[in-house]
Amino acid sequence: MMPLSTQPETGDDQYVLVASLDNVRNLSNILKAIHFKDHATCFATTNGIKVTVENAKCLQANAFIQAGIFQEFIVQEESVMFRINLAVLLDCLTIFGTNSLPGTSTALRMCYHGYGYPLTLFLEEGGVVTVCKINTEEPEETLDFDFCSTNVVNKIILQSEGLREAFAELDMTSEVLQITMSPDKPYFRLSTFGNAGSAHLDYPKDSDLMEAFHCNQTQTNRYKISCSNLSLRH
Amino acid sequence: MRFRAKIVDVACLNHFTRVINTIAKLAKTCTLRLTVDKLYFILTDKVANGGVSMWCELNQGNFFDEFQMEGVAAEHNEIYLELTPENLSRALKTAQNAKTVKIKLTNKHCPCLTVAVELPSLSSSSRIVTHDIPVGVIPRRLWNDFREPSVPDFDVSIYLPVLKTMKSVVERMKNLSNCIVLEANLNGEMNLKIETDLVSVTTHFKGLGNPPWEDGSQNSTQDRDPESMAEARIDIRKLLQLLAGQQVNPTKALCNIVSKRIVHFILLHEEVSLQYFIPALA
């Protein structure tokens, strides 16, 4: 990692990444949702920016912000990748606080010169300007879960609020969360096996919360229950 | 030595409570000085306070309907008490709907400020909640320790930006660094800066205005280049304590910077003036 004082300054035209937002909340809110570890890898292409956070090589969260969300979005190379401290990035993005008066918003311009340079943020609210320079690090390989769409057996899209409520009520004395997906009853079931007994939460396939239900085979899988908590962050 | 005072007006009571809450946020213990006309909350710059000092002054007539004070002696008609302001703050919490609040100096096992809160009640007799707050009486030979600090010979005097914005920024910066550089010039510009190995953040405030001072204090500033910044590196938690403690926007808020030595904050409300000194770090 290069110390901040030795990372050089250069002119405007040499940025490999420039991204501008009228309202920085659009970025900070989504990054807060994946902030369960302090280190994140940022990967930018002309399609947008993907921010990845991993835990012990067994859990990965991705936030993808499309180029269209930004008011200005320029990526000069095929892809731009760096690692950064997400806690520091969030503190900088929210430098003017998280509760703003109605009608005011904080504007952001994010610039990156490339490998070895810090990420520079210009934030402005009500005429006050804050400039942040955050050290970047060597990008590390992120897990590739290989979500190849031709191998998908079952796919369900649910409205998140309903699933969030269910996750919030899970019996945390259970070590595992068991998820069953099936073309037949119970269609979609969340199960726990805790101190008080086992609990099952079923979603019928014609539920109001179901946006899409495509199940071809009955599948039951178990996951460490602590992982479900992370998806509740927001 | 005698002291009795009474607050009847609800607006005065609320205002007084807010002042005490602010003081409680700034000092764990402080000195309360009572004179015929005023109350002072004083914190001297001991090492235990991290070198920070405070001088807060209230006109008693703006808060109390009755105020009787008899000092230690006729020629020294004042009382100095050592007090934990948080105790007073807690007592006043029970006084939100009070009809009256009486404060008097008593001796119950030890010297106390007794706060008697008269609360509305359905029956003909009132309900009274009494709090006995232990205080220390400061002997006259130590009174010299608590004199009003003089305005330092500053390099730059500048009005503070909107405190809410300043507080938000300093709060975030506190997550990133223990010390902050506060710099300002005679062109109404102020910067707040932190720098660590990991990150540097600078917030630029412009158009703040520089207060006019009567001659005497302006000696250092008259020949000064207006663009040149006076700066001091201070403990960020002390600055945040000051900003976070403000419950109401002051009528005037400014700071005087002695480069690399000290920052002197002055916050003026209608009936209260608060001065706060934060020394620069080595």
Interface of A with B (CB under 8 A): 3-4, 85, 87-88, 91-92, 94-97, 125-135
Burial class (CB within 10 angstroms; exposed 0-12, middle 13-18, buried 19+) of B204: middle
Q: How high does pLDDT run on average in chain A?
A: 87
Q: Which of A3, A88, A128 sits opposite B165 (nearest CB)?
A: A128
- Helix (H) / strand (E) element for A33: namely helix A25-33
Cβ separation of A128 and B161 shorter than 8 Å? yes
Average pLDDT over residues B128-136: 95
Confidence (pLDDT) at A103: 76
Q: Which of B165, B172, B199 sits opposite A94 (nearest CB)?
A: B172
Above pLDDT 90, what percent of chain B? 78
Q: Could you read off the pLDDT of B145-166 as tens digits, one per residue?
A: 999 988 889 999 999 999 999 9
Confidence (pLDDT) at A3: 44
Is there a contact between A118 and A131 (Cβ–Cβ < 8 Å)? Answer: no
Q: What is the distance between the alpha carbons of residues A95 and B180, in angstroms, rounded to a whole number?
A: 14
Average pLDDT over residues A188-210: 91
| Lowest mean pLDDT across A132-141, B41-50, B71-80, B115-124 | B41-50
**B168 phi and psi angles, rounded to 5 deg:** -60, -45
B174 touching chain A per CB within 8 A: no
**Both structure tokens of A53:** 């956070």
Q: What is the distance between the alpha carbons of residues A82 and A114, in angstroms, rounded to a whole number?
A: 9
Q: Could you read off the pLDDT of B256-282 as tens digits, one per residue?
A: 999 999 999 999 988 899 999 999 997
Query: Does residue B156 sit in helix, strand or coil?
Result: strand
Average pLDDT over residues B190-210: 96
Is there a contact between A181 and A120 (Cβ–Cβ < 8 Å)? Answer: no
**Both structure tokens of A222:** 């178990």
- Helix (H) / strand (E) element for A86: namely helix A86-93
Q: Examine the pLDDT at B143 and tell me if it is beyond 90.
A: yes
**B83 phi and psi angles, rounded to 5 deg:** -140, 150
| Cis status of the peptide bond prior to A186, with omega within 30 of 0 | yes
Average pLDDT over residues A99-117: 87
Q: Examine the pLDDT at B65 and tell me if it is beyond 50.
A: yes
Confidence (pLDDT) at A163: 84
**Both structure tokens of A45:** 């292409």
Which chain A residues touch B200 with a CB distance below 8 Å? Answer: 4, 132-133
**Both structure tokens of A121:** 């943020």
A94: nearest CA in chain B? B172
> Tokens 């005037």 label which residue?
B252
Question: In angstroms, what CA-CA distances link A47 with A115, A182, B92, B267, B279?
Answer: 20, 35, 59, 51, 51
Q: What is the distance between the alpha carbons of residues A108 and A130, in angstroms, rounded to a whole number?
A: 10
DSSP state of B74: S
DSSP state of B27: -
Cβ separation of A131 and B201 shorter than 8 Å? yes
| Of B210, B118, B117, the residue nearest B159 (C-alpha) | B210
**A69 phi and psi angles, rounded to 5 deg:** -70, -30
DSSP state of A8: P
For residue A18, what are the β-bridge partners?
A: A74, A111
Using 50, 70 and 90 to split pLDDT, how confident is the model at A11?
Answer: low
Q: Examine the pLDDT at A12 and tell me if it is beyond 60.
A: no
DSSP state of A204: -
B165 touching chain A per CB within 8 A: yes
Q: What is the distance between the alpha carbons of residues A29 and B70, in angstroms, rounded to a whole number?
A: 60
Using 50, 70 and 90 to split pLDDT, how confident is the model at B234?
Answer: very high
Cα A6–Cα A12–Cα A18 angle in degrees, nearest 5: 95
Confidence (pLDDT) at A135: 96
Q: Examine the pLDDT at A2 and tell me if it is beyond 50.
A: no
Which chain B residues touch A87 with a CB distance below 8 Å? Answer: 175
Q: What is the distance between the alpha carbons of residues B9 and B4, in angstroms, rounded to a whole number?
A: 16
Q: Which of A96, A131, A133 sits opposite B168 (nearest CB)?
A: A96
Report if pTM > 0.80.
yes
Q: What is the distance between the alpha carbons of residues B196 and B59, in angstroms, rounded to a whole number?
A: 44
Confidence (pLDDT) at A196: 86
Q: How high does pLDDT run on average in chain B?
A: 91
Q: Could you read off the pLDDT of B82-115 as tens digits, one per residue?
A: 999 999 999 999 898 899 999 999 998 999 999 9
**Both structure tokens of A146:** 């290989």
Confidence (pLDDT) at A4: 45
Cβ separation of B199 and A87 shorter than 8 Å? no
DSSP labels, A118-181: PEEEEEEETTEEEEEEE--B---PPP-----GGG--EEEEE-HHHHHHHHHTS-TTSSEEEEEE
Q: Examine the pLDDT at A5 and tell me if it is beyond 70.
A: no
**Both structure tokens of B4:** 């009795």
Q: What is the distance between the alpha carbons of residues B52 and B236, in angstroms, rounded to a whole number?
A: 12
> Tokens 């006084």 label which residue?
B95
Using 50, 70 and 90 to split pLDDT, how confident is the model at A6?
Answer: very low
Helices (H), chain B: 10-26, 85-93, 163-174, 236-244
Q: Examine the pLDDT at B221 and tell me if it is beyond 70.
A: no
B198 touching chain A per CB within 8 A: yes
